[in-house]
Amino acid sequence: MPESASPELLAPLPRDLQPCDVVTLAHLRHVLLAIDDCLVADSVLRLLSRFLPHAEVQQVRDRVALRESLAVRAADFLIASEALLDGDALDLLAEARARRQCDRLLVLTQRREPQVIFAIRSLGAHGAVDSRSDGASGLADAIRRIGCGGAYWSQSFLEILRGEGPNGHVQRVLSPAELYVFAVLGDGSDDQTGADVLGLSLQSVHAYRKRIHQKLRLQHKGQLVSLAVRCGLVRFTERGVERPGIEALRSRSVFRSRHGAAPRCPSPSEDFEASPFQAVAEPASAGTTQRGQKRVTMPSK
């Protein structure tokens, strides 16, 4: 079973496992809200006053303030929107988890594009609430369960993570490197622009584009852009083009050589590790082994 569908990681905490009350949640002393919508923030504050009356609650609305606050003091519980006033926040949340600047993380979002939900999962969030469908009861349940050490994922998000969404095939059929290239080219960039961004040759980017078109059965650039938007790999906003979770895609698509060379994106002719979202990883063929993320063919004796 792929990690993205693991029930012990994604299933909500059983209701009868332990009581989630003020006493159980007493260890949550510092709560940080990073929410751009004032109405949503007010709803969360009302719930926190009920479940965590002892906690110190701090509010921020943009990425700059969030980064500064976490640098000064780690949060016991971080409740954040996937986007803030100054843009996408997923890579910043991933950074906070990697630096252990928050113990528990709950993400609120109205978006249901696969890349957004997969990015929330991969950054180490303990759950996500679909604010379009869950309402106050779902948010209250998420705060209680995550605060008690469990997890909470809205049903709509579980379906996406299990590959049941309308565009779930994209995460299954593309490799990590191909997803990263897809995100870069998904705003309509030509191959030369993509090569400049990716640090690859024009021929390599052209080969990647061809493979993406073949795997996803796309006929032209317009279909590629449309699918990238529907999958959440690319988002067009007033601030410009955003790519949610692009750093997570980048980190999964590079490898470091044995001699310590700088990370790079594998060329299309190279074999690399299967996407973690694929239902079944391809077994190594006879005479091959794994070194890092690159499959190396052993010379025959």
For residue range 83-98, list pLDDT tens digits in order.
999 999 999 999 999 9
Q: Are residues 281 and 187 in the same domain?
A: yes
**pLDDT value for 16:** 43
Q: Please state the rounded mean pLDDT for residues 154-176.
A: 85
Q: ∠ at Cα 31 (155, 143), nearest 5°?
A: 25
Predicted pLDDT of residue 216: 94
Which structural domain range is residue 253 located in?
Answer: 169-295
Looking from the CA of 10 toward its CB, the CA atoms found within 13 Å total 22
CATH number at residue 129: 3.40.50.2300
- What is the pTM assigned to this prediction? 0.73
Q: Is residue 300 part of a domain?
A: no
The answer on pLDDT for 268 being more than 90 is no
- Give the per-residue pLDDT at 160: 87
For residue 273, the model assigns a pLDDT of 38
Residue-level pLDDT at 271: 38
User: Per-residue pLDDT averaged across 15-21, rounded?
Assistant: 51
Rama region for 6: left / alpha / beta (φ>0; ψ in -120 to 50; rest): beta
**SS3 at position 58:** strand
Single out the residue in 142, 161, 180 at which a domain terminates.
161
